[in-house]
Amino acid sequence: MSKFETYFLMSSADVVEYAKEKLDLFATDAKLECAEIGDGNLNYVFRVRDPKTDTSVIIKQAGDTARISDDFKLSTERIKIESEVLQLEGKLAPGRVPDVYFYDGVMNCCAMEDLSDYVILRQALIEQQQFPLFADHITTFLVNTLLLTSDVVLEHKQKKQMVKKYINPELCEITEDLVYTEPYQDVRGRNELFSPNREWIEREIYGDTELHLEAAKCKFQFMNHAQALIHGDLHTGSVFIRLDDTKVIDPEFAFYGPMGYDIGNVIANLLFAWAHANAIDESRQQPGFLAWIEQTVVEVIDQFKEKFLKSWQENATDVMAKESGFATWYLSQVIEDTAAVTGLEMIRRIVGLAKVKDITSIEDVEQRINAERICLIAAKRLIKERATIRSGIDFLSVFKGRVSQ
Ligand code: SR1
Ligand code: MG
């Protein structure tokens, strides 16, 4: 009997055995190398490689708690959602996600294409690398995965079946708590503010009741607007990149939610890369990097809008959705949500439990205080003024409004 007939959390040695038994990729006498390379907050990611043939594969396994904290008891089902969503996204946006080879519902793991010649975008941005094709690639991914899974395109009963299939209550609860609640009301006492900035954050975030009201409105929008099958965690740690290619990974938070959640995550995390580079000594700043990030923020919004309207023209099926003016109204709502989510993500990654390396790795105390405040001031405006934010330049103007003060 195979030892993989009952679930347990695998070690690297177990994964070698597993790969030989379950995959056709490796010879039974192959001397495989295996390392756990995950740096996310939830799962275990193993790279298995045969050095002789240079064949490799990624095996990703879910535990029943989150890596970041045992506080989070999680369904191991999330790997099923991840592998099914990756396969669907691969059809909707060809080439923009890794190939998934199989899903194992007993061991709660999946096997997928090894992207070892790619780098994680967050780390590459921290190192100030530029990727001229990123805006084009990510906006195609966003438009195709979002618009094509919405009621604008899908037959409505089929769309409701999708809403049912991709219900994801535990992972949604993490977002509801970490993004939409705890940065405003630290109900579980796990925020751990950067202490030199504590008083300022307590006043500007915990003390801003107008902000809390807007965050509450956004929270209920997130929970109740089953608009499209969203990725649900599209930060720069969920993107593998090379100069010529971009692959989106990790859609375990996917569910039917507001489109702006994905776009806003992309924008917020680009702005963290800007804040990181801006905080380092000028002598170590790569010429043109800050300008490239700014241009990319503008391009992501403006290319998204352009491709969205084009795709709407080509793919909309709902008769009322074809009414003159409806597509532009719908898009303006998506951009408004995007502005709010950009702000909410920026606040939660500085104030809440799951912080980002772009900010936490800023060693100079004054520079980190400054970076946090730049982001938080912009974030508050993005949330409060979201109805007035329409274009890529609007996003950038709000963000840079603070920098020139
Ligand atoms: C408990 S998980 C913390 C965060 O990591 C994931 O990547 C999501 O962003 C989540 O909010
Ligand atoms: Mg992830």
Nearest to 115 by CA among 292, 269, 244, 254: 244
Q: How far apart are CA 78 and CA 242, in angstroms?
A: 27
DSSP 225-250: ---EEE-S--SGGGEEEETTEEEE--
Q: Domain boundaries in the chain?
A: 3-113, 119-403
The answer to whether 265 and 345 are in contact (CB under 8 A) is yes
Query: In which element (H, E) is residue 376 found?
Result: helix 365-384
Neighbours of 160 (CB within 10 A): 14
Would you say the CB of residue 376 lies under 6 angstroms from ligand 1?
A: no
Question: Residue for token digits 């499209």?
Answer: 228
Which ligand approaches the C-alpha of residue 68 most closely?
1
pTM of the model: 0.96
Would you say the CB of residue 42 lies under 6 angstroms from ligand 1?
A: yes
Would you say the CB of residue 174 lies under 6 angstroms from ligand 1?
A: yes
CA 99 to centroid of ligand 2, rounded, Å: 17
What pLDDT score does 405 carry?
Answer: 39
What pLDDT score does 404 carry?
Answer: 42
CA 61 to centroid of ligand 2, rounded, Å: 12
Dihedral sign, Cα of residue 81, residue 84, residue 90, residue 92:
negative
Would you say the CB of residue 171 lies under 6 angstroms from ligand 1?
A: no
| CATH 3.40.630.30, domain 119-403, yes or no | no
CA 251 to centroid of ligand 2, rounded, Å: 7
What pLDDT score does 343 carry?
Answer: 98
The answer to whether 175 and 183 are in contact (CB under 8 A) is no
- What residue owns the CA closest to ligand 1's atom 2? 41
CATH class given for the domain over 3-113? alpha beta
Closest ligand 1 atom to 353 CA: 3
pLDDT-flagged residues of the chain (< 70): 402-405
Please tell me whether residue 350 adopts helix, strand or coil conformation. helix
CA 354 to centroid of ligand 1, rounded, Å: 6
Q: How far apart are CA 115 and CA 386, in angstroms?
A: 37
Would you say the CB of residue 230 lies under 6 angstroms from ligand 1?
A: no
Would you say the CB of residue 354 lies under 6 angstroms from ligand 1?
A: yes
Q: How far apart are CA 405 and CA 390, in angstroms?
A: 23
What pLDDT score does 402 carry?
Answer: 52
Would you say the CB of residue 12 lies under 6 angstroms from ligand 1?
A: no
Give, for ligand 1, the residue of 178, 188, 261, 266 to mutate: max count of ligand atoms closer than 8 Å to Cβ.
Answer: 178
